[in-house]
């Protein structure tokens, strides 16, 4: 796809979001099923995932959206962590469902409104468990799942992210200056 085709594809969406900002607010979600042992099965768009534009930004819906994939990663990690923690502390969980929902304002990523943020503004993670655990055991299970879930902690305390670009122009190697963002854990996010 070239730039002009992309502009034509996104123009009606941008116009609609300018006229009706609420139309750009979309909730993405991912679900996972706690499985045998320490697994959590997450439904993904494809086995070999090809990421593309979300339909709210002009995509055709045939490719996986990276926002959905982020939520799927959270669901998978939280489900596996919960299973591992439950096993470690002896809280039997017969089955369960893990769900993540995230709210996005697509005006931000399309550059329609400078005041609209790019990225998720809110993410909700929930667990529906089939267990006879007490309220105290469930509280401990959740506290430890939050503490040890890598994806959850990464989202809660964003790491510093360094972006490098390497390319070649006319046979000459070119490096763009490195950019850094985020915190080095503990600074903010």
**Domain locations in the chain as residue ranges:** 3-156, 161-189
Give me the pLDDT at residue 71, please.
95
State residue 75's pLDDT score. Answer: 96
Distance CA 189, CA 187 (A): 7
Q: Are strands 25-34 and 40-42 parallel, antiparallel or unpaired?
A: antiparallel
pLDDT score, position 187: 39
Q: Tell me if 104 sits within 8 A of 70, measured CB to CB.
A: no
Report the pLDDT value the prediction gives residue 189, as an integer from 0 to 100.
35
Hey, what CATH topology would domain 3-156 get? GMP Synthetase; Chain A, domain 3 (3.30.300)
Measured between alpha carbons, how far is 33 from 17 in angstroms, rounded to an integer? 35
Q: How far apart are CA 110 and CA 118, in angstroms?
A: 9
> What pLDDT sits at residue 36?
64
pTM, two decimal places: 0.78
Cβ neighbours for 186, distance < 8 A, ≥ 6 positions apart? 157
Angle at 154 between CA 163 and CA 147, to 5 degrees: 160
Q: Is the pLDDT of residue 185 over 50?
A: no
Rounded CA separation 115/111 (Å): 9
Residue 38 confidence (pLDDT): 56
Residue 153 and residue 183 in contact, taking contact as beta carbons nearer than 8 Å: no
Where helices occur in the chain by DSSP H, the ranges are: 3-19, 66-89, 106-110, 135-148, 150-156
Q: pLDDT (tens digit, 9 = 90+) per residue, 108-161? A: 999 999 999 999 999 999 999 999 999 999 999 999 999 999 999 999 999 888
Tens-digit pLDDT profile for residues 29-82: 888 777 665 566 677 766 556 677 888 988 888 777 889 989 999 999 999 999
Please check the confidence at residue 186 and state whether its pLDDT lies above 60: no
Which residues lie across from 95 on neighbouring strands?
130
């Amino acid at each position: 796809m070239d730039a002009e085709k992309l502009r034509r594809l996104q123009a009606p969406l941008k116009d609609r979001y300018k006229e009706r900002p609420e139309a750009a607010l979309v909730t993405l979600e991912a679900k996972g099923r706690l499985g045998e042992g320490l697994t959590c099965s997450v439904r993904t768009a494809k086995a070999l995932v090809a990421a593309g534009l979300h339909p709210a930004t002009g995509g055709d819906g045939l490719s996986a959206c990276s926002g959905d994939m982020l939520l799927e990663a959270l669901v998978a990690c939280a489900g596996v962590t919960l299973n591992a923690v439950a096993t470690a502390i002896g809280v039997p969980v017969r089955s369960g469902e893990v769900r993540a929902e995230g709210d996005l304002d697509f005006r931000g990523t399309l550059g329609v409104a400078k005041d609209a943020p790019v990225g998720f503004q809110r993410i909700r993670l929930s667990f529906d468990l089939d267990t006879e655990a007490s309220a105290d055991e469930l509280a401990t299970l959740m506290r430890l799942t939050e503490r040890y879930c890598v994806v959850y902690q990464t989202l809660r305390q964003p790491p510093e992210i360094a972006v490098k670009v390497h390319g070649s122009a006319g046979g000459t190697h070119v490096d763009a200056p490195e950019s850094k963002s985020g915190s080095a854990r503990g600074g903010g996010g």
